[in-house]
């Protein structure tokens, strides 16, 4: 048992952790319009035969891949995976999500997010960009894993590995970069002005200092909008009520804390989301973020429990598979061989074709 023990100090689950990307050399030769049509149609047909849920419509050089509910979908929801010509994959639940592949070429791939969340695993290829458009929001990457979900006029983006660039607005002039562990709603909601005559909360000192003489709430929002997390944390620490009560406000407070190098301060905000808003669609993200934060602080057993909750409470979440992998990694770090083997067996049952099966089996000493 001790031979396979992983020291907790070597466990790489902190905020800056980015798992090794697959290295695929070379660039695909330029393919003609008709070949792109045929390959897109074949990929879509393969998806249809596998899940029984895809409708394919080809118009000119555009292949629309639209996922629809199907009576044959397994109970509890089925996850489908679409593999593109250049090796990238798009995973989604056909009952709730749809994507449209607009272009597949040697230098660029373009996908339109039609509805619902979809997870993109983009392989690195020099000279090729991968672009996902959702309304006015554009996500560009070279090689990474991330989630894109249209939400009305806005789009939710969450990065699991690597980095992405998110742009929005007129001619996509506004933009930001997101790294592994980062997430947000774009375009960002404008900061609402404080209501006239608003009563000051008892826990929000009226005379708490704020830079440049600004009221604390205004100073906090301004620094969050400017991504000045250290400045925002300084204001938040003096005015705890600014953290708010909604899921979005609590996520922002957690981000301000962890991105200003105060990860322990993020924990109560994330725990409040799980305690007060367990049915919110962002709850699994909060739980996964909590697990990573606990891991980074060396609280491995608590992290293991939290990752287990992501997988058990939200099994259809795009984060469920990664949470199970991290749970197994934490169990291995604790030297709990029985738990690690049990999690490896669970991974085999839940994800028989999972891309991280070998990794989980390695933690369990089975490879």
Percentage, residues of the chain above pLDDT 70: 70
What are 207-252's pLDDT values in tens digits?
444 545 568 888 898 888 888 888 899 999 888 888 889 999 999 9
Report domain extents, the chain: 33-179, 244-363
pLDDT in tens, 302-341: 999 999 999 899 988 888 898 999 999 999 988 999 999 9
Q: Which is more confident, 192 or 268?
A: 268
pLDDT value of residue 347: 92
Neighbours of 333 (CB within 10 A): 24
Please state the length of the chain.
367
Same fold yes or no, 33-179 and 244-363? no
Could you give the CA distance from residue 243 to residue 325 in angstroms, rounded to a whole number?
31
Look up residue 154 and give its two tokens. Answer: 């806005």
Q: pTM (2 decimals)?
A: 0.49
Looking at 3.30.70.3340, 3.40.190.10, 3.40.50.1010, 2.60.120.1440, the CATH number of the domain 33-179 comes to 2.60.120.1440
Residue 68, pLDDT above cutoff 80 = no
CATH fold for domain 244-363 = 1.25.40
* Residues 84, 122: Cα–Cα separation, whole Å: 10
pLDDT of residue 132: 93
Dump pLDDT digits (tens) for 280-292: 988 999 999 999 8
Interval 158-208: pLDDT, tens:
887 778 888 887 666 678 888 777 777 888 766 444 333 333 333 334 344
pLDDT at 144: 78
CA distance 22 to 74: 31
What token pair was written down for 138? 């554009």
Query: Which position has the token pair 């909060």?
Result: 286
**Worst-scoring range by mean pLDDT, 33-47, 80-94, 111-125, 338-352?**
33-47
């Amino acid at each position: 048992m001790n031979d396979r023990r992983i020291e907790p100090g070597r466990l790489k689950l902190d905020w800056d952790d980015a798992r090794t990307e697959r290295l695929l050399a070379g660039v695909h030769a330029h393919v003609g319009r008709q070949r792109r049509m045929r390959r897109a149609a074949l990929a879509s047909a393969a998806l249809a035969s596998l899940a029984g849920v895809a409708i394919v419509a080809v118009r000119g050089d555009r292949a629309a891949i639209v996922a629809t509910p199907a009576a044959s979908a397994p109970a509890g929801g089925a996850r489908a995976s679409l593999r593109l010509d250049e090796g990238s994959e798009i995973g989604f639940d056909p009952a709730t999500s749809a994507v449209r592949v607009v272009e597949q070429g040697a230098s660029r791939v373009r996908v339109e997010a039609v509805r619902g969340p979809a997870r993109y695993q983009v392989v690195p290829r020099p000279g090729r960009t991968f672009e996902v458009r959702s309304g006015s929001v554009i996500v560009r990457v070279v090689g990474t894993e991330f989630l894109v979900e249209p939400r009305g006029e806005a789009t939710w983006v969450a990065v699991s590995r690597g980095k992405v660039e998110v742009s929005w607005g007129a001619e996509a002039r506004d933009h930001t970069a997101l790294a592994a562990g980062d997430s947000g709603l774009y375009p960002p909601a404008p900061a609402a002005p404080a209501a006239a005559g608003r009563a000051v909360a008892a826990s929000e000192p009226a005379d708490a200092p704020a830079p440049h003489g600004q009221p604390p709430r205004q100073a906090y929002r301004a620094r969050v909008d400017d991504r000045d997390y250290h400045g925002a944390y300084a204001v938040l620490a003096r005015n705890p009520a600014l953290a708010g009560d909604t899921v979005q406000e609590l996520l922002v407070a957690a981000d301000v804390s962890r991105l200003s190098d105060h990860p322990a301060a993020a924990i109560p905000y994330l725990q409040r989301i799980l305690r007060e808003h367990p049915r919110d669609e962002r709850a699994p993200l909060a739980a996964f973020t909590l697990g990573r934060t606990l891991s980074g602080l060396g609280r491995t057993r608590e992290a293991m429990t939290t990752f287990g909750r992501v997988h058990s409470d939200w099994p259809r979440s795009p984060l469920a598979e990664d949470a199970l992998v991290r749970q197994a990694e934490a169990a291995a770090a604790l030297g709990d061989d029985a738990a690690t083997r049990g999690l490896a067996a669970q991974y085999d049952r839940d994800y028989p074709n999972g891309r991280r099966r070998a990794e989980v089996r390695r933690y369990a000493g089975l490879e």
